[in-house]
Structure formats: C-alpha cells, structure tokens
Amino acid sequence: MKYSHIIWDFNGTILDDLVPCIDVLNKMLNERGLKAVDKNKYLEVFGFPIKEYYEKLGFDFTKEDYGVMAIEWSGLYKAAAENSGICRGVTDALEYFKEQGLPQFILSATEYGMLKEQIKELGIGTYFSELLALKNFHAVSKVALGKEWAIKTKPQRMLFIGDTLHDYETACAMGADCVLIAAGHQCKSRLLKCGVPVLDSAEELIPFFERNNV
C-alpha cells in the first residue's frame, strides 16, 4: 500500500537549529555554574522528556521550577534561532511530496504559537495541511498528540520523518513507518538502535521514498 500521509518533525528535521540550541543550553548551564557541552556531547545526551535531559546535565528542579526555566529557555531560543534556516534537502522533499499530491503535517513538541511563527518566517506554511504542536513550553512528549490525530484521521499509511528516538517512539505509537535523519539533535549511532532506516541528510529522502512507496 502506498503512502497516504507524510508527517514531519520540525526542530532538527525541517529547521536547522542545532547550533542555537547548543548555544542556549550552554548559556543556561553557565548561569547555573554547570559544565558546558560541545556538539558531540549534546548529540549523545539530548532526549525526551526534556526535563529528564536537563536533569542529566545537572539542572536541579528541587531548587528551581521547571516551568519557569522552560519559559526562560523559550525566550533565549527565540532570539538565538531567529536566523536559522531549513535543513539541506528539505525544501526539495516538501515540493516533491506536494507534487505527489500527498498531504503533509508537522507534529512537534514545540509550543504551537512559536511553531506557527517559525513556519511563517521560513515561508513554507503552504506545504502543510495542519500543524500539530503542544500548548506549552514544557516539551514533555508528542506521543499522545500523534495518537489522537491518527485515531481521528485514520490515515491508510503514514511516513514519519524525524531526527530523534522520540520521533521513532511517536511513529510507533501512531502506527506509522519511520525514517530518521542523522543531521539534527541526536547522533547516528543512537538512531541506528531503533532498527529503522537512518539517512545522513534530507537530500536522501526522495530516493528513499521512491524505493519504499510500494
């Protein structure tokens, strides 16, 4: 059965925001007297739920409120990621899926208002039938959101495109096929453990799709 719906993750999959995310993290670590991370360390530790990932880096939420910190992060991130562009190969893939007549959706752990604003700034809003995002900045999980959408929509066959283990978990919960791109927020060695196809960049998406859309 051929694919009927394309589901995209946003951060690290569509939006190339790895560098600003590391910069913001290190600013927050520095302000708390905690050790900064380099790119390799970040790719090895980043994960969901975000709160647990911060705790691994030394944040102590018995001494500060996670909700307040999440709002702090969102303000710093918005400024840092202002000039972030689209990941290599994504625009071609978006256009290809559009030409195939496939509805495309974004499912993100980003707060909805921020996601909508970023999509507008990137000028890619017309590619998407719907934006699915969280109602706050806590970035807990998008599994429930994805499952709810899948139950309501009843797609025949979905392809979920992401860059993290959480994207794989979400795809599984939705009953979607998954392909991961090792150019975002987690390293390739971690992604390969999922047992699904892992691409080096979104430039490989179109040939991957043509091989598997049967």
Per-position DSSP letters for 29-62, written without gaps between them: HHHTTPPP--HHHHHHH--SSHHHHHHHTT--TT
The structural domains of the chain, with segments of one domain joined by +, span 5-17+86-212, 18-80
- Nearest-angstrom CA–CA distance, 33 and 53: 17
- Nearest-angstrom CA–CA distance, 206 and 88: 13
Fold of 5-17+86-212: Rossmann fold (3.40.50)
**Cα dihedral 17, 132, 159, 41 in deg (nearest 10):** 30
Rounded to two decimals, the pTM is 0.95
Mean pLDDT of 148-152: 95
Say if residues 3 and 63 touch (Cβ distance below 8 Å). Answer: no
Tens digits of per-residue pLDDT, 93-128? Answer: 999 999 999 999 999 988 899 999 999 999 999 999
141 — pLDDT class (breaks 50, 70, 90): confident
DSSP state of 175: T
Say if residues 9 and 15 touch (Cβ distance below 8 Å). Answer: no
- Nearest-angstrom CA–CA distance, 199 and 46: 19
Tens digits of per-residue pLDDT, 34-90? Answer: 999 999 999 999 999 899 999 999 999 999 999 999 899 999 999 999 999 999 999
Per-position DSSP letters for 79-109, written without gaps between them: HHTTT--BPTTHHHHHHHHHHTT--EEEEEE
